[in-house]
């Protein structure tokens, strides 16, 4: 086994600029999530454990639109999507439109580990979760004051906050995870890219891994993460591959999105065509956090 230097890049969503008052808490949230996932990788943990660790940290943080703090649909309900994939054997798990789970990414992982299905939605996903010991949470435990105020006040599209992570571990395995409350004021039952393998999440040890954020419908139509990972062929730099995938997405769909990407060597990259994107990654030994 060739030992590799681990690598990790996280995002906390792409979209409109984050209001100044929210930036410090969001920055701290990204730092905490990065530290949790990096510690896993440094101690020899798997890329899969690292991306799940980062995603759980951000799902538990009300500053992000995932888990606690998810945005509301047009009925004022939370409906969350999440998925993950590991690039060694192409195992994957996803849940869509789930309402009563604190950490949808953990249920997606349980589904992946069980291996029978890849994607469960709605009541079926929640029944699967309860049968595996995940305790249901009430709507009130997930809905924050801020999201409730937005829903009552504006009913318009707003700040970003989908979360995602991609990692490479010492054994050369890559993994990706993505989790979201979806888009604000969406139709009940709508599922976006974050639950769709190849759109919001993709991993392949021979090439790399990606997690996307932004216009879910456009990302699905362009199979954005699969496209970006394919662009890593022939040693293309991850930032250039991410840019090329976004160019294709925009040309074909006029969509706005962001993507984080890493390759099999552990080089990280990202690109977005939105006004802002929240990110955390290492540049040398320095943690770069952008909100
Ligand atoms: N990219 C998140 C969503 O569209 O649901």
Q: Does any domain span residue 1?
A: no
CA separation for the pair 161, 110 (Å, rounded): 24
Which CATH number covers residue 116?
3.60.20.30
Q: Does any domain span residue 242?
A: yes
Verify whether ligand 1 is closer than 6 Å to residue 213 (CB atom): yes
**pLDDT at res. 251:** 97
Residue 174 token pair: 């890559």
Non-local CB neighbours of 212 within 8 Å, separated by 6+ positions:
164, 178, 193, 194, 199, 200, 201, 219, 224, 225, 228, 257, 258, 259
**pLDDT at res. 159:** 62
Q: Does any domain span residue 76?
A: yes
42 Cα–ligand 1 center, Å? 31
**pLDDT at res. 84:** 98
Which residues are catalytic, by number? 162
CA separation for the pair 141, 72 (Å, rounded): 13
Report which protein residue has its CA nearest ligand 1's atom 5.
182
CA separation for the pair 203, 170 (Å, rounded): 16
**pLDDT at res. 143:** 87
Structural domain containing residue 245:
7-290
**pLDDT at res. 158:** 58
**pLDDT at res. 140:** 87
**pLDDT at res. 144:** 84
Q: Does any domain span residue 2?
A: no
Strand order in the sheet with 268-272: 201-204, 208-214, 257-263, 268-272
Evaluate whether 172 touches 47 at the Cβ level (below 8 Å).
no
pTM of the model: 0.95
Number of domains in the chain: 1
CA separation for the pair 246, 35 (Å, rounded): 28
Verify whether ligand 1 is closer than 6 Å to residue 193 (CB atom): yes
- The CA–CA distances, whole Å, from 248 to 194, 221, 225, 244 equal 19, 11, 12, 6
Could you say which residues of the chain have pLDDT below 70? 1-2, 154-160
Classify residue 286 as exposed, middle or buried by CB count within 10 Å of its CB (0-12, 13-18, 19+).
Answer: exposed
**pLDDT at res. 288:** 98
């Amino acid at each position: 086994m060739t030992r590799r230097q681990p690598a990790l890049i996280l995002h906390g969503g792409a979209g409109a600029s984050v209001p100044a008052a929210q930036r410090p808490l969001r920055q701290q949230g990204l730092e905490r999530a990065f530290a949790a996932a990096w510690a896993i990788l440094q101690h020899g943990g798997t890329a899969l454990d690292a991306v799940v660790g980062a995603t759980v940290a951000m799902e538990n943080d009300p500053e992000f639109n995932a888990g606690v703090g998810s945005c509301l649909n047009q009925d004022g309900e939370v409906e969350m999507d999440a998925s993950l994939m590991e690039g060694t054997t192409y195992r994957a798990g996803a849940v869509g439109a789930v309402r009563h789970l604190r950490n949808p990414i953990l249920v997606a992982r349980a589904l992946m580990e069980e291996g029978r299905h890849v994607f469960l939605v709605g009541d079926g996903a929640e029944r699967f979760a309860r049968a595996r010991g995940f305790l249901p949470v009430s709507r009130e435990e997930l809905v924050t004051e801020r999201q409730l105020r937005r829903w009552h006040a504006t009913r318009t599209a707003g700040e970003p906050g989908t979360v995602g992570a991609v990692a490479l571990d010492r054994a050369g395995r890559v993994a990706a995870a993505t989790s979201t409350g979806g888009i604000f004021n969406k139709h009940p039952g709508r599922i976006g890219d974050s639950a769709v393998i190849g759109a919001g999440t993709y991993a392949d040890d021979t090439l790399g891994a990606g997690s996307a954020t932004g216009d879910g419908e456009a990302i699905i139509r362009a199979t954005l993460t699969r496209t970006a990972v394919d662009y890593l062929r022939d040693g293309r730099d991850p930032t250039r591959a991410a840019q090329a995938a976004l160019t294709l997405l925009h040309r074909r769909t006029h969509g706005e999105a962001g993507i984080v990407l890493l390759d099999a060597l552990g080089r990280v990259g990202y690109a977005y065509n939105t006004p802002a994107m929240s990110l955390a990654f290492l540049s040398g030994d320095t943690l770069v956090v952008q909100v």
